[in-house]
Amino acid sequence: MFMLIGNFGSRQRKIHAAFQFFLFTTIGSFLMMIAIFLIFLHEGSTDFQTLYYGDFDFEMQLFLWICFFISLAVKVPLFPVHIWLPEAHVEAPTIGSVILAGVLLKMGTYGMLRFVAPLFSFGNFYFNPLVFVLSFMSIYYISMVTFCQIDLKKLIAYSSVAHMGYVTLGLFTYNFVGLQGSVFLMLSHGVVSSLLFFLIGIIYDRYKTRLIFLYKSIHSYMPLFTLFLFFAILANVGFPGTIGFVGEFFLMFSFLAINKVVFFFSSFGFLISITYSFWLYNRISFLLPYHIFSFSDFSRKDFFLTLPFIFMIFYFGLFPLPTFAIFEASSILMLMSNPFLFSIF
């Protein structure tokens, strides 16, 4: 990713963005390395089955939890260590943005699910309010910042950060439904955000600008592009029948089960997401043109590259049960291997 952003970035600040990405990732990884060394010195092993029964005292477990959580929060990214992501997305080429959104961000939430939750159970309970506060800050603060953006790619990048806040909320609800919803939302985010960045890359390759106010009334010139963008926006806001709805529905159900205050604030965050998503779609699709008056619609290559994303959006949205069966089987195996987590769930 460092080479992709630094060598193939599209603008002047690509070197700055590449080093910012590198430094944030390296500092987080250094903290995790310290924690792994301490675990090995204390337990004499890094085997999962051994560490599940590890005898960490309370203070050490809190320190290990902080090291792991900060390093993984950089990857998610959570507020306030999110500032590298919009810069990296804006400067990266389209393929770099797709890899970032579809793969790398999920490393953070996967690490929380695979390492933080089962290994540092007391730390999870102790810092649970902190995780909820940081997640809500990621949702609300980043959503407000999203409204202020004039760059198409930066707007989608901030929207991506806000959606990942819901994933961390679900992971720390200690609710099996919330766990399932978070994992499905990770899948949804990878598909939808990748599609959005790919669509933005299509029009950027044609006109070399991502300023929102220069793209107006594109439905008259690019009807196929407008239709596919509409499907992506529907999935991004969690419209029923799309891939985004399933994970959000499970998360809202789990929030309602644990705390009505969490349910209220999280549902209000979804309303903000709907507002800025359709505000973006309306601005570039239906307002009168300002600068660019001639558009070329999808090429054959663009159409066949985008079609699998559209298929996944509606297939997983309409038929989620086979995917949930896989999630349930893997989750049960993980929980059974850890007696503490199994007793909670």
Task: Give the chain's end-to-end CA distance (angstroms, integer).
Answer: 37
Find the mean pLDDT for residues 216-232.
83
Q: What is the pLDDT of residues 104-138, one digit of tens each?
A: 888 888 888 888 887 887 888 888 888 888 888 88
pLDDT for residue 333: 54
* pLDDT of 337 strictly over 70: no
The Cβ-side half-sphere exposure at 332, using a 13 Å CA radius, reads 6
Spell out the residues 6+ positions from residue 239 whose beta carbon is closer than 8 angstroms to its own. 245
Sign of the Cα torsion 171, 49, 102, 79 reads positive
6 contacts 18 by C-beta, under 8 angstroms:
yes
* pLDDT of 311 strictly over 70: yes
Spell out the residues 6+ positions from residue 268 whose beta carbon is closer than 8 angstroms to its own. none
| pLDDT band at residue 335 using 50, 70 and 90 as cut-offs | low
